[in-house]
Each structure stands twice: as C-alpha cells, then as structure tokens.
C-alpha cells in the first residue's frame, strides 16, 4: 500500500509540474532557440567567418587589446585613412608576408578592406595557412567611414 501511495504521489508531482510549465516552457524553449539562431546569424558573415562589431574594434583600440587589425587594402587606400593601430598587408602580398603574422597564429586577427570582398578572400587564405582565430570586421571600412569612427 505504501508503494502505491508513493507511486501516486510521484505521478501527481510530475503531472502538476508538467501542467505548470508545459505551454510556457515550450514557448520559452522556442524563444531561446530562435534567439540563439538569430545571434548566430548576426555574429557570422555569409561565408561563416565570425564578425567583430565596430564597437568591439573601438573597445580593442581603447583598451590596447591584443587583437591584430589587419587591413588588406592597397597601400594607397590605407594611407588615406585606416583604423588606428591597423597593420597594412595588401591582399596581393599576403602569401609572401605570412611570416609577419606568425606571432598571431593563435591570437585573434580581425581583417578589414573597403567593402568585404578582399576581406573574405584574405580570411580564406589565412584559414588555409593555419590561422584559426579569425574575424571579419562588420561593414568593413565603408561602414567605418560612414560612422565617422577614429582614423589614422
């Protein structure tokens, strides 16, 4: 008799617990899944590289962070204005100058060009060369200029 009462009590707890959370719990789970998918979509570019927001770049500059900002535009474009502290290695020279990036093999490298095409090509080259912590600066220099963010 005690076993039957214990089993009924356990069943009652499950029924009451399930009734209190089933609809709201499902909605909460769905909302969390949707938010997670949105965050993932926003945090990566169409080619699957992680994005670094302009705010994160500015924070890295202000805190003297360890992220290397790699500008892959031509030298002429770079001298017209670039993100403070950025290193310029034009995309046409990346393969020949990879040794300059050896100390960043396991560190974060955020790549930027004017509108994104050279950035993606550079990120692919770096990934093939074994670099793993790569990011694409969201909006590239086109957005940086539009937002009137700091330049050197």
CB contact at 8 A, 67 and 101: no
pTM for the whole structure: 0.71
For the beta carbon of residue 136, count every other beta carbon within 10 angstroms.
24
Q: Which residues constitute the domain of residue 131?
A: 50-146
- 56 and 38, same domain (yes or no): no
Q: What is the pLDDT of residues 42-81, one digit of tens each?
A: 577 676 799 999 999 999 999 988 999 999 999 999 999 9
- 30 and 63, same domain (yes or no): no
Q: What is the DSSP string of the chain?
A: -HHHHHHHHHHHHHHHHHHHHHHHHHHHHHHHHHHHHHHHHHHB-TTSPEEE-HHHHHHHHHTT-S-EEEE-S-HHHHHT---TT-EE--GGGTGGGGGGGGGGTTS-EEEE-SSSHHHHHHHHHHHHTT--SEEEETTHHHHHHHTT----
Does a structural domain hold residue 99?
yes
Q: List the catalytic residues.
A: 113
Domain count, the chain: 2
Does a structural domain hold residue 152?
no
Q: What is the pLDDT of residues 5-46, one digit of tens each?
A: 555 556 545 555 554 444 455 554 544 444 434 343 457 767
**Which residues are registered as beta bridge partners of 110?**
69, 135
Does a structural domain hold residue 127?
yes
Does a structural domain hold residue 151?
no
- 39 and 58, same domain (yes or no): no
């Amino acid at each position: 008799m005690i076993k039957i009462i214990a089993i009924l009590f356990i069943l009652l707890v499950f029924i009451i617990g399930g009734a209190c959370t089933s609809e709201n719990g499902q909605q909460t789970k769905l909302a969390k899944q949707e938010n997670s998918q949105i965050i993932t979509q926003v945090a990566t570019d169409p080619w699957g590289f992680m994005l670094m927001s302009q705010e994160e770049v500015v924070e890295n500059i202000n805190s003297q962070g360890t992220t290397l900002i790699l500008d892959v535009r031509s030298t002429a474009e770079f001298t017209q204005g670039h993100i403070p502290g950025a290193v310029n290695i034009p995309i046409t020279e990346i393969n020949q100058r990879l040794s300059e990036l050896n100390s960043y093999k396991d560190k974060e490298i955020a790549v930027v060009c004017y509108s994104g095409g050279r950035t993606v090509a550079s990120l692919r080259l770096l990934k093939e060369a074994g670099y793993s912590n790569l990011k694409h600066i969201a909006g590239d220099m086109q957005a940086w200029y539009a937002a009137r963010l700091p330049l050197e």
